[in-house]
């Protein structure tokens, strides 16, 4: 098997010059293109990167042979992962995972319950943008990533915790500051591999402790408020209510850890997807016109859409599928491990090997998607062409048993947002804008914070 062949221990301390996705894609083209698998190193660990749809199918469908890597499950108590995110549905296996997933599944099977929340929130944001546009007498530039982060935090706040954070009007900024700090710190690979780095008496670590306390206080306050809230039969239960009712499964610490993971898993990813939606739709007038045409046919340009109408927007679904292919929010599916000797792509894989599925390279592989791989072409998800795409060649939400539990939640949120946005505004890129990804976070891709689009009322 080809591979990088060198222990890249020092590389993990270097500040990256490019995004994680671009670095992995270059590596894939050099070492893994032929076989769809190659060997690399993550600090002291030998790691296989997998970009072959058949191998991915084998991995995600057999969680006994390919469980999550112990580095994620057996958290070192001094690690930031343990302190910030903890032992929750994402970082458990076997019986514990099944019990937790069983509790949260019902909320996510019936995402229609979140529909009014998403619609109200989107309308609130569009009204705010309209008043900014009014003041500017025409078009205005919108800083996409901060706006989308606030929007998705509010969506999560109301749907999962039953609280209106009102982040879209600039509230909650102190919590977001703590959260941003921790999210950046947690993704530093060197801290993951050498947790003692978190315990050194440095100024950075003192700041980290301060933000951790701030963040913990917020989560425990949310839990307390939910416990003391009187039941309202008119209101749909929030995810937190459901978790509180399952006391046997969720003690207070597990409850806290799951709140934390829903906060992390649930908003940054959707904010990133919407960031790339802005980029692709603003760049491609043809696609924007086709979505608007579909809105006119299915809903009309003024009315609030119904849940059924949103689901009837077939072309919009293909657009979302396509930008999540070209720009997957989660660059790679976090580490799994071969629990016994096995085989992938015709190669022997010894027990204990670390395995990462490289989503970005898979979605950009010409071998998998053919010569139009780099084109933004929603039509590839229609008719016969869609049927010819390997089912495991598209994994923005992972797949199999451990597929993202919030995928339909996120898709509904994105659809409602895009429909209301394009009913009211046309969007375009600022002159000469060239897309670049964030380099500071390595788990979630998103356009750089400076990314802005011009919105003009229709
Ligand atoms: C564009 C949006 C999203 C993307 C791209 C995304 C992606 C993913 C991926 C790739 C995984 C697999 C992680 C792994 O195997 O370790 C995952 C798992 C998960 N996601 Fe998402 N996610 C999104 C939105 C959400 C939302 C909105 C929520 C909750 C409100 C959520 C909650 C979760 C949870 C709880 C898991 C763990 C599931 C399990 O292991 O049983 N995600 N997500």
Give the CATH number of domain 1-64+331-389; options: 3.20.20.70, 3.30.43.20, 3.30.300.30, 3.40.630.40: 3.30.43.20
Angle, alpha carbons 80-84-86 (nearest 5°): 95
Q: How far apart are CA 69 and CA 46, in angstroms?
A: 12
Q: Please determine, for residue 14, whether its predicted confidence score (pLDDT) is greater than 80.
A: no
Q: How would you label 206-231 residue by residue, b for 16+ Cβ within 10 Å and e otherwise?
A: eebeebbebbeebbeebbeebeeeee
Q: Please determine, for residue 59, whether its predicted confidence score (pLDDT) is greater than 70.
A: yes
Pocket test for ligand 1, best of 186, 250, 265, 407 (most atoms within 8 A of CB): 265
Q: Which neighbouring-strand residues pair with 444?
A: 330
Q: Please determine, for residue 433, whether its predicted confidence score (pLDDT) is greater than 70.
A: yes
Whole-number Å distance, alpha carbon 223 to ligand 1 midpoint, is: 22
Closest of 263, 310, 253 to residue 158, by C-alpha: 263
Whole-number Å distance, alpha carbon 267 to ligand 1 midpoint, is: 10
* Ranges of each domain in the chain: 1-64+331-389, 80-130+144-320+396-423
Whole-number Å distance, alpha carbon 397 to ligand 1 midpoint, is: 6
Q: Please determine, for residue 11, whether its predicted confidence score (pLDDT) is greater than 70.
A: no
Closest of 271, 287, 285, 295 to residue 422, by C-alpha: 295
Q: Is the CB of residue 262 below 6 angstroms from any atom belonging to ligand 1?
A: yes
Q: Is the CB of residue 329 below 6 angstroms from any atom belonging to ligand 1?
A: yes
Whole-number Å distance, alpha carbon 265 to ligand 1 midpoint, is: 6
Q: How far apart are CA 299 and CA 302, in angstroms?
A: 8
Give per-residue pLDDT as tens, 339-359.
999 999 999 999 999 999 999
Q: How far apart are CA 311 and CA 307, in angstroms?
A: 6
Q: Is the CB of residue 263 below 6 angstroms from any atom belonging to ligand 1?
A: no
Cα maximum dimension of the chain: 66
Q: Which neighbouring-strand residues pair with 429?
A: 453
80-130+144-320+396-423: CATH architecture:
Orthogonal Bundle (1.10)
Q: H helices of 356-448, where?
A: 359-363, 366-369, 383-387, 407-424
Q: Where is average pLDDT lowest: 6-15, 139-148, 253-262, 354-363?
A: 6-15
């Amino acid at each position: 098997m080809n591979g990088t062949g060198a222990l890249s221990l020092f590389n993990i301390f270097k500040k990256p010059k490019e995004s994680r996705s671009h670095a992995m894609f270059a590596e894939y083209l050099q070492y893994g293109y032929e076989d769809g698998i190659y060997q690399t190193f993550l600090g002291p660990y030998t790691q296989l990167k997998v970009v072959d749809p058949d191998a991915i199918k084998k991995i995600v469908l057999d969680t006994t042979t390919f469980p999550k890597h112990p580095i994620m499950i057996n958290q070192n108590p001094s690690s930031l992962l343990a302190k910030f995110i903890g032992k929750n549905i994402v970082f458990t296996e076997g019986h514990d995972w099944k019990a937790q997933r069983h509790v949260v599944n019902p909320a996510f099977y019936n995402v229609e319950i979140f529909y009014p929340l998403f619609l109200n929130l989107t309308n609130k944001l569009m009204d705010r943008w309209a008043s900014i546009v009014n003041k500017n007498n025409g078009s205005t530039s919108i800083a996409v990533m901060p706006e989308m982060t606030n929007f998705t935090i509010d969506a999560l706040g109301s749907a999962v915790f039953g609280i209106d954070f009102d982040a879209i009007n600039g509230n909650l900024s102190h919590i977001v500051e703590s959260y941003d700090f921790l999210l950046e710190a947690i993704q530093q690979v060197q801290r993951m591999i050498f947790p003692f780095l978190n315990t050194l008496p440095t100024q950075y670590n003192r700041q980290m402790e301060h933000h951790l306390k701030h963040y913990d206080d917020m989560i425990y306050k949310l839990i307390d408020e939910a416990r003391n809230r009187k039941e309202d039969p008119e209101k749909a239960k929030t995810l937190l209510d459901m978790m509180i009712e399952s006391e046997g499964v969720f003690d207070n610490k597990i409850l806290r850890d799951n709140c934390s993971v829903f906060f992390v898993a649930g908003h940054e990813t959707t904010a990133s997807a919407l960031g790339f939606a802005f980029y692709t739709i603003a760049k491609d007038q043809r696609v924007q016109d086709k979505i608007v045409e579909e809105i006119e046919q299915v809903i009309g340009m003024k009315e609030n859409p119904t849940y059924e109408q949103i689901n009837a927007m077939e072309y919009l679904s293909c657009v979302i599928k396509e930008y999540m292919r070209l720009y997957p929010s989660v660059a790679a599916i976090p580490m799994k491990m071969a629990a016994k000797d096995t085989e992938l792509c015709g190669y022997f894989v010894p027990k204990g090997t670390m395995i990462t599925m490289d989503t970005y390279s898979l979605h950009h592989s010409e071998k998998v998607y053919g010569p139009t791989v780099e084109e933004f072409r929603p039509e590839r998800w229609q008719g016969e062409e869609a049927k010819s795409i390997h089912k495991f060649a598209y994994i923005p939400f992972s797949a199999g048993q451990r597929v993202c539990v919030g995928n339909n939640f996120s898709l509904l949120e994105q659809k409602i947002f895009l429909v209301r946005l394009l009913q009211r505004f046309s969007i375009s890129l600022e002159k000469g804008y060239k897309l670049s990804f964030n380099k500071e976070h390595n788990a979630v891709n998103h356009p750089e914070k400076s990314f802005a689009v011009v919105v003009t009322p229709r």
